Amino acid sequence: MSEAVAVAVAERFRELYGADPDGVWAAPGRVNLIGEHTDYNDGFVMPFALPHVAVAAVARRADGVLRLHSADIEGGVVELRLDELAPQSDRNWTAYPAGVVWALRDAGHDVTGADVHLTSSVPTGAGLSSSAALEVVVALALNDLYALDLEGRQLARLCQRAENVYVGAPTGIMDQTASACCETGHALFLDTRDLSQRQIPFDLAAEGMRLLVVDTRVKHAHSDGEYGKRRAGCEKGAALLGVDALRDVPFDGLAAALERLADEEEVRRLVRHVVTEDERVERVVSLLEEGDTRAIGPVLTEGHASLRDDFRISCPELDLVVDTALSAGALGARMTGGGFGGSAIVLAQAADVDTLTKAVEEAFAAAGFTAPRVFEAVPSAGARRIS
């Protein structure tokens, strides 16, 4: 994130609103290293922040008006009155930043208005949380400008509420927490039950490794409905096993739990994924803390098999990335995010990255798929003020 971006965003703010912004803030997108579909089961996740960020220039207003502009969306400045903000009243991109203002005010914080101009380098709809980046950058700016003194994890909660209630999208707490709380060179080990968190060193470059994100650029149409079904299936599993959430099924009690679910083939598979996935997160944490980054590769690959075979949310494009990367020498690979499209991650020796990228691109062309977008994910900083 260069100084030049902050200057350009502030300059555009001046053109739009005819005055200087009070400051410029940035908040990143994220990828989840491991811990998929565990967040709504009170389990573990392990995201890290991308170098890709939403950047917002913001100024306070005292007159109950919110003005919003995105460089990345056609159309001019949108003007809203704070006392008219209402959940699910807005189907446009403006619902994300307006939802944050609504959530802050609904929680009793005296926010009296703002002018906002933003732009983002987080690809949208690729499972990299461009929506959370947008929410968190606005929340952090308002936190500073109104001296609200909220911590990252509190801002994340408010942003989640904005997305769940105001926008109307059911999401867990991972994305906003990652954007708000991640640190450079670390992955964030997050317990989604009590939101306790630990920064785990994840400095790939120092160990001669790199991590690629492969955005398949597909989003299969049935993905939202399938998400709902998986979620409901997990809740049914917890109810049948008599626990609050699948998080409460211990790894060493898995065999017994699966036996109790002998007549529920579909639920059994979901339970097996969630319980083994929580264990994989804990294994990755231990390996990274021991400094054995290379050894996490096979754990990532195991996670993919579990999502593909037990949770059944992969798709031909994601499987092709994983299979091709592994054949071309990757240390590990898995789909990341909700599934049925979006992105996969590939852990590789730095020296193998070019060969791997070419192999994946060629495999996509040969299969007749849309060309994927491949980029490197360097564990980067969480939300911050940049000027």
* Residue 94: CB minimum distance to ligand ADP, A: 8
Residue 357 near which of ligand ADP, Mg ion, none (CB within 5-8 Å, type-dependent): none
Type and span of the H or E element at 174 = helix 174-181
> Following CA atoms 45, 50, 52, 56 in sequence, which dihedral angle do they give, to the nearest 10 degrees?
60
Phi, psi angle pair for 186, to nearest 5°: -135, 155
For residue 103, with 0-12 CB atoms within 10 Å meaning exposed, 13-18 middle and 19 or more buried, which class applies? Answer: buried
From the list 41, 70, 223, 306, which residue makes contact with ligand ADP (rule: CB under 6 A)? Answer: 70
Q: Could you say which of 39, 90, 115, 175 is catalytic?
A: 175
Residue 340 binds ligand ADP, judged by CB under 6 A: no
Residues 120 to 139: which contact Mg ion by CB under 5 A? 131
Pick the piece of the chain touching ligand ADP (CB under 6 A) from 76-84, 118-126, 289-297, 354-362: 118-126
Distance CA 180, CA 4 (A): 22
Long-range contacts of 234-240 (CB under 8 A, 24+ apart): 234/37, 234/40, 234/41, 234/270, 234/271, 234/274, 236/264, 236/267, 237/261, 237/264, 237/267, 237/268, 237/270, 237/271, 237/274, 238/41, 240/264, 240/267
Which amino acid, one-letter code, is at 296? I
User: In the set 16, 134, 347, 360, which binds ligand ADP (CB under 6 A)?
Assistant: 134
Is 93 near ligand ADP (CB under 6 A)? yes
Single residue of 20, 72, 79, 244 touching ligand ADP by CB under 6 A: 72
Using only C-alpha atoms, what is the Rg of the chain? 21
| The one among 129, 223, 293, 314 contacting ligand ADP by CB under 6 A | 129
Question: Of 36-44, 126-134, 152-160, 276-284, which segment contacts ligand ADP by CB under 6 A?
Answer: 126-134
- Give the DSSP letter of residue 380: B
Assess 164 for contact with ligand ADP (CB under 6 A).
no
Among 96, 189, 227, 364, binds ligand ADP (CB under 6 A): 96
State the residue for tokens 């709504």.
40
Q: Which does 72 bind (CB under 5 to 8 A by kind): ligand ADP, Mg ion, none?
A: ligand ADP
Q: Which residues bind ligand ADP (CB under 6 A)?
A: 70, 72-73, 93, 96, 119-120, 124-131, 134
Active-site annotation, residues: 175
Interface with Mg ion by CB under 5 A: which residues?
131
